[in-house]
Amino acid sequence: MEFSGLEKLSLLDFDDNITATLFSAGCNMRCPFCHNSSLVLDPLKAPKIPWSEIMEFLEKRKNVLDAVCVSGGEATLMPDLLDKLADIKSLGYKIKLDTNGSRPEVLKIAVEQGLVDYVAMDIKNSPEKYPLTTGVENINVDAVQESIDFLLRTDLVDYEFRTTIIEEFHTDEDMIKIASWVGGAKRFFLQQYVDRDNCIAHGFHAVEKEKALHWKTILGKEIDEVSLRGYE
């Protein structure tokens, strides 16, 4: 399976690392606020970049780039993801994996084999509101729970949890439940929502900074480091 997008230079995806970002097509969630609708809703029509072309690019950029961020869609759905991560690692790059946590079996192997250096896992909402927030009625929250538990207890990889906060989906009560769900985590980011042209649906509203700071306080009672992302 091939990647469908390549951002050749990013200074935002992986801390201070100069990063290239790869985007896979296809996802097992349908979050209405997702800004990669073309990759999620119609993956078969998404462009395909030959792996040899990506590897050639990464080989040439070894002295410029520090890391590769593997994102989506949901990259853990790729049947050959682990092989591709190994190829990237062979070039000496650090790797960040973005995931919704729905495939803990893939996440565990990637971490235990040393194929990723950092995991950014989305926490869509409180567990009870996952069907609403992901657009999937029968969503397997148990798999998400397994990924959370794994990251909380492993010392093999650094990680963050993150939630894109939206007025129509999140409340104080949700934040209290999320704080309990991932209590003891190293770090958590509350991300500002932006209504982009490529979102699956529109009409949602960003949470004002004052409320985001209030939610930061709620999460901070259970989580070591909580920050806002995207807010000035």
Tens digit of pLDDT per residue, the chain (232 long)? Answer: 899 999 998 877 787 899 999 999 999 999 999 988 889 888 889 999 999 999 999 999 998 999 999 999 999 999 999 999 999 999 999 999 999 999 999 999 999 999 999 999 999 999 999 999 999 999 999 999 999 999 999 999 999 999 999 999 999 999 999 999 999 999 999 999 999 988 899 999 999 999 999 999 999 999 999 999 999 7
Contacts within 8 Å (CB) and 24+ apart, 10-16: 10/69, 13/69, 13/71, 13/96, 14/66, 14/67, 14/69, 14/94, 14/96, 14/118, 15/118
How high is the pLDDT of residue 198?
Answer: 87
Could you give phi then psi for residue 178, rounded to 5 degrees? -65, -45
pLDDT of residue 15: 79
pTM more than 0.75? yes
**Encoded tokens for 54:** 């990506």
Question: By C-alpha distance, which of 188, 127, 123, 191 is closest to 159?
Answer: 188
User: How far apart, in whole angstroms, are the C-alpha atoms of residue 193 and residue 25?
Assistant: 22
